[in-house]
């Protein structure tokens, strides 16, 4: 099922032509800071299946892995849209908080659980990965 979402102000829209049976929660420091919360929720989508329209800016940073991660966000409201790195190959991580229908899609994996906030327990049934696989 394709997915359509938008940033907080609605100026940047995201369309995913791919389907996603589950999501990834990431507890790494970069994802926490990008989301402004204790974690981020994402899917890895093939780049060819992603269409982003509207005003965006990019910010690149070297991750703990040594890879450069480029984060894309709405240049008007600042909503995180996606992030890309060579480690993802032909895919990119899409922040699912911008899509209302992802509220119904289960969490399949938690990444960087070594950095999970103490007050948060594991998601039942989700794979628990200490860092980036």
CATH of the domain at 90: 2.170.150.70
pTM of the model: 0.91
Query: Tell me, what's the pLDDT at 133?
Result: 66
Tokens 């790494």 sit on residue: 28
**Residue 56 covered by a domain:** yes
**Residue 126 covered by a domain:** no
Q: Please give the chain's pLDDT, 133 residues, in tens.
A: 689 999 999 999 999 999 999 999 999 988 999 999 999 999 999 999 999 999 999 999 998 778 899 999 999 999 999 999 998 999 999 999 999 999 999 999 999 999 999 999 999 999 999 987 6
DSSP per residue, the chain: --EEEE-SSSSSEEEE-S--S-EEEE-SHHHHHHHTSS-EEEEEEEGGGEEEES-EEEEEEE-TTS-EEEEEEETTT--EEEEEEGGGTTEEEEEGGG-GGGGGSPEEEEE-GGG--TT-PPPTT-EE-SS--
| Domain region containing 93 | 3-113
**Residue 121 covered by a domain:** no
Number of domains making up the chain: 1
**Residue 129 covered by a domain:** no
């Amino acid at each position: 099922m394709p997915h359509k979402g938008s940033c907080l102000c609605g100026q940047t829209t995201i369309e995913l032509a791919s389907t996603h049976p589950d999501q990834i929660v990431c507890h790494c420091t970069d994802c926490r800071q990008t989301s402004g919360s204790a974690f981020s929720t994402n899917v890895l989508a093939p780049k060819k299946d992603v269409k982003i329209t509207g005003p965006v800016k990019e910010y690149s940073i070297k991750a703990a892995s040594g890879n450069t991660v480029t984060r894309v966000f709405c240049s008007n409201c600042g909503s995180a849209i996606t992030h890309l790195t060579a480690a993802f190959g032909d895919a990119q991580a899409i922040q699912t908080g911008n899509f209302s229908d992802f509220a119904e899609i289960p969490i399949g994996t938690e990444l960087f659980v070594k950095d999970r906030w103490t007050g948060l327990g594991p998601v039942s049934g989700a794979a628990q990965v200490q860092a980036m696989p």
